[in-house]
Chains A and B, each alone.
Chain A
Amino acid sequence: MTGRRIMTAEDIRRATIRISHEIVEKHAGTGGLALVGIQRRGVPLARRLAASIRDNEGVDIPVGALDITFYRDDLSLVAQQPIVKGTDIAFDLNGKTIVLVDDVLYTGRTIRAAMDALIDYGRPQAIRLAVLVDRGHRELPIRADHVGKNVPTSREEVVKVTLEEVDGDDAVEIERRPGLAAVGGTAA
């Protein structure tokens, strides 16, 4: 069960602050900027980034939550229908620059689904991607604009992100894939 810890709570905090600076820098300000977290652990991460931007810039930028369940391309492969966790985008994203936020970037399929889902809500000016961990093994031509930590992994490993808001503590660990279990928590 215990894996190798690759980020501590302190590492996550620093990475979040750095990414929040990068987002504002790349966008050259906060006007028309919005964050959308991908359910489930992308959502608290997006909120943390927004809080950090508020601390740095004194501006509140809109934060949304996106559930990509209906857009997954592996619905025919998973054992049971995933539980839908809910989309909550309370702002108009037409013309905005949307930064998608997720915990782990792996095959890129989640992000592909998230872009499809997002576009059903409107036409953003641009979509960018911020992730806490990029573990490689892309299966689609997708890359992140902002990365907390690049971690070389093998496909037999699982990157497990825990966040205080969801799991009670902040950490990123790598463990060997325990059979076919451990689905759901760590995003692909």
Chain B
Amino acid sequence: MSAGSERPEGAIEAPAAAPAHWAHRHLLDVDALTRPDIELVMRTADEMHDVLERPIPKVPALRGLGVTILFYEASTRTRVSFEVAAKNLSADVVNIAAASSSVSKGESLVDTVRTVEALGADMLVIRHSVSGAPYLAAEIFSGSVLNGGDGWHAHPSQALLDLYTLRSRLPGGLLEGRKVVILGDVLHSRVARSNVWTLTAMGADLWICGPSTLLRGFEAWAARGAAGRRFTVTSDAGAALQDADAVMALRIQKERMASGLLPSLREYAARYGLTNERLRAARPDAIVMHPGPMNEGVEIAADVAAGPRSMVTDQVHNGVAVRMALLYLLAGTRRTEAGA
């Protein structure tokens, strides 16, 4: 159980001893979440994790609520994870796999969201290749919108499950001063962008590492900084991994890779691939994470991915608990607006 009190002076101004009531109708990114909000998600996810351990991992909390999962982009784990999470809470789940079509994106999205709402959806989980698409959906949808990943912009549920997984392995669940490295293609990564917010908000000593062509924009972000946030950007994998407590490897997104950013995948693997040899610089108990899907042999060696440090399957399992927590918390605010 994570402590709700005892919050050290953090990066984000937190009202002292906040009662931590959830006040967000949508989850579009993690940048709107305060530290007490994040703590509440973690605490609720703990309870959901316990539910998952039961013989029948199902509770009636969202009975009668319609959850529509609308994915404009390929996905296995996020989509299934949201579906399992919603079903574990007894919601009625509708899946729409909108294979990206040639229809003009803005208009089709608006129409689809209106249709989904007319069909009785109370909550909408949306993934779209265009950054900001969930914000547009939130403007027209009368229920709650959860961003399941939009373009390069944000992937809030992934960042929260990564945080949950990290906390589960750190003494006291505290990230304060822990060195966490995000290694790989951060340029194209919504996972990295959302993780920067949550990890620095929780006090981690965050290092972003990759070839300089894949770090564009992040140096400026780090330099701009924010009070109390620790955030370093480097192309030196050795320096990044030195004494690291956790390393998160990111997929090299070939499908988003314009030519010229990398000389070759082979060179990338040689210089930045996460191997056991490279991990020797990290702390002996350091953990390895990857949001998946993995290109084994490119950004992560197969023996690391399947090795004892790997938290990859924990991430998947925790993802269900964290998404249950998010659906549960958001369902409350939806009713607040509609009912009271």
Contact of B61 among A69, A120, A121, A122 (CB under 8 A): A69
Contact B340 A120 (CB under 8 A): no
Contact of A71 among B44, B59, B331, B333 (CB under 8 A): B59
Judged by a CB distance under 8 angstroms, whether A3 is at the interface is: no
- Point out the residues of chain B lying under 8 angstroms from A87, CB to CB: 47, 50
Contact residues of B between 38 and 87, Cβ < 8 Å to A: 40, 43-44, 46-47, 50-51, 54-56, 58-61, 64
Contact of B21 among A69, A75, A80, A117 (CB under 8 A): A80
What is the interface size of chain B, counting residues whose CB is below 8 A from a CB of the partner?
A: 29
Judged by a CB distance under 8 angstroms, whether A181 is at the interface is: no
Contact B61 A77 (CB under 8 A): no
Contact residues of B between 303 and 340, Cβ < 8 Å to A: 328-329, 331-333, 335-336, 339-340
- Point out the residues of chain A lying under 8 angstroms from B60, CB to CB: 70-71, 116
Judged by a CB distance under 8 angstroms, whether B1 is at the interface is: yes
Judged by a CB distance under 8 angstroms, whether B22 is at the interface is: yes
Contact A120 B56 (CB under 8 A): yes
Judged by a CB distance under 8 angstroms, whether A84 is at the interface is: yes
Judged by a CB distance under 8 angstroms, whether B20 is at the interface is: yes
Q: CA of A81 to CA of B340 in the docked complex: distance in angstroms?
A: 13
Q: Give the total number of A-B pairs whose CB atoms are below 8 A apart.
A: 55
Q: Is the interface of A mostly helix, strand, loop or mixed?
A: loop
- Point out the residues of chain B lying under 8 angstroms from A71, CB to CB: 59-61
Q: CA of A87 to CA of B47 in the docked complex: distance in angstroms?
A: 8
- Point out the residues of chain A lying under 8 angstroms from B340, CB to CB: 79
> Max chain A CB contacts within 10 Å: which of B1, B64, B331, B335?
B335
Question: B335's closest neighbor in chain A, by CB?
Answer: A76
A-B contact pairs, 18 of them (CB 8 A): A67-B47, A69-B61, A70-B51, A70-B59, A71-B59, A75-B331, A76-B64, A78-B332, A79-B340, A80-B22, A81-B333, A84-B44, A84-B47, A86-B50, A116-B60, A120-B56, A120-B58, A121-B54
5 closest cross-chain pairs (CB), A and B: A81-B332, A70-B59, A70-B61, A84-B47, A80-B21
Q: Which residues of B come within 8 Å of A, CB atoms?
A: 1, 20-22, 40, 43-44, 46-47, 50-51, 54-56, 58-61, 64, 89, 328-329, 331-333, 335-336, 339-340
Known: A80-B332, A87-B47, A120-B54. 20 other contacts (CB 8 A): A69-B61, A70-B51, A70-B61, A70-B89, A71-B61, A75-B331, A76-B64, A76-B339, A79-B340, A80-B21, A81-B22, A81-B329, A81-B332, A83-B21, A84-B43, A84-B47, A116-B60, A117-B59, A120-B58, A122-B55
